[in-house]
Amino acid sequence: MFLPKKCERLVRLSFHQNIFIFNAALFGILFGILVYTSCTANTPPKAADLVVDNQPINLASERYQLLYQELEEQYAFNKKELTQLFSGLKIDRTVLRLMDKQWEAKPYYQYWPLFITPSAIFKGKRSLKKYRKLFDRIEAEFGVDREVVVAIWGIESRFGFNQGGFNLFRTLNTLFDKYPRRSDFFRNELINFLILCRANDLDPLKINGSYAGAFGQAQFMPSSFNEYAVDFDGDNRRDLINSKKDIFASIANYLKNFGWTLHAPVYADIGSELKSELMVSTYKEGRKGLIEWQVLAETQQITIPRPPQNKKLSILGLEKSPKEGGEMRYIAGYPNFRAITEYNHSVKYAMAVSEMAEAFKK
């Protein structure tokens, strides 16, 4: 085909440009693959990636032999009993997979609607009315607001209807054996679990709970059960699975031990902007960062309630929905708020409990 010289030059130029673009694109793809492979190679595998479901646990391993030794020597468990109890244990891979996918990772505007629903508010109000006399006793003895107790109960187990579907003994062994990051923690929880089962005449093989090792309507970890659970129904057992008296009183006792003050403020909204470097640095310290309440009020130019004994406040941030502008919602956390974060360290959890408790009062 005959082309004028000018057109021929254009065609040749276009051809070379296309080759250059193709090579550049190919280089980009290869570079991306190289970077991805490098990043992946440097990322340690997750615990669930290193096991298969129903993989037998090696009970002859040194870690289990040391566990047996401690249970026998320090806690007077029978060797034959332990052999029968632990026999045939297998890994629950789902437990490991869920440990890195917790609700608290969601932004607050997606987190709270999971719990604070019209149905939950109705159930909470109905329970407060139904157990009014019981809560009169609990408030008098423990000094903890009833609405907060019911809010925790509602969020932890959907008012007792969802106590978890994972076999707790298998779960704790899975996490002790195959979750290296917190193996020591779950070893301790496993020991506490066996102790509480023996003390309260429970079969350790028949108790279900969460994938993280909590159980009962209050979702206590075994160590928390042994330290804070109370017998409030007078039957000489601490029953957080069926006894409402024990359940509500134990939640209250937990909060009491972390400094709850009856009818005291829990939090205060302080705006969408922190107005000093001190405020920002306190916020960056998380729930443990503290500031004088007068300084906070003066800096933010707001009026807030005085905390009990003039104790310091923490500064916490919550994500607002993009539909609301996407700004941060900053709050001052009072000692009561920090008591809730001892139940669950998540600020989002503590705020959901606080706002659900408020909704019960309306």
136-151: pLDDT as tens digits: 999 999 999 999 999 9
Q: What is the mean pLDDT of residues 319-338?
A: 95
Least confident of 2-16, 180-194, 230-244: 2-16
Q: pLDDT tens across 46-62, in order?
A: 889 999 999 999 999 99
pLDDT at 8 over 90: no
pLDDT of residue 43: 72
pTM (global) more than 0.75? yes
pLDDT of residue 225: 98
Domain annotation covers residue 22 = no
pLDDT at 361 over 90: yes
Q: Which domain holds residue 295?
A: 267-333
Domain annotation covers residue 112 = no
Residues 77 and 198 in one domain: yes
pLDDT of residue 31: 39
Q: Which of 255, 200, 187 is nearest to 226 (CA)?
A: 200
Domain boundary among 210, 230, 257: 257
pLDDT at 343 over 90: yes
Q: What is the mean pLDDT of residues 302-320?
A: 97
Domain annotation covers residue 308 = yes
Residue 105, number of CB atoms within 10 A of its CB:
11
pLDDT at 11 over 80: no
Domain annotation covers residue 89 = yes
Mean pLDDT in the chain? 90
Q: What is the mean pLDDT of residues 105-127?
A: 96
Contact 209, 216 (CB under 8 A): yes
pLDDT at 10 over 70: no
Residues 313 and 245 in one domain: no
Domain annotation covers residue 304 = yes
What's the start-to-end Cα distance of the chain, in Å? 86
Counting residues of the chain whose pLDDT is more than 90, the rounded percentage is: 83
Domain annotation covers residue 199 = yes
Residues 185 and 245 in one domain: yes
Least confident of 98-112, 151-165, 275-289, 334-348: 98-112
pLDDT of residue 103: 59
Burial 317-342 (b: 16+ CB within 10 A, else e): bbbbeeeeeeebbbbbbbbbbbbbbb
Residues 177 and 247 in one domain: yes
Structure tokens at 7: 């057109």
pLDDT of residue 33: 39
Domain boundary among 222, 257, 292: 257
pLDDT of residue 285: 95
Q: pLDDT tens across 186-207, in order?
A: 999 999 999 999 999 999 999 9
Q: Which of the pair, 75 or 43, is modelled with greater confidence? A: 75
Total number of domains in the chain: 2
Residue 42 pLDDT level (bands cut at 50, 70, 90): low
Residues 177 and 325 in one domain: no
Domain annotation covers residue 40 = no
Residue 7 pLDDT level (bands cut at 50, 70, 90): very low
Query: 308: buried, middle or exposed (CB in 10 Å: 19+, 13-18, 0-12)?
Result: middle
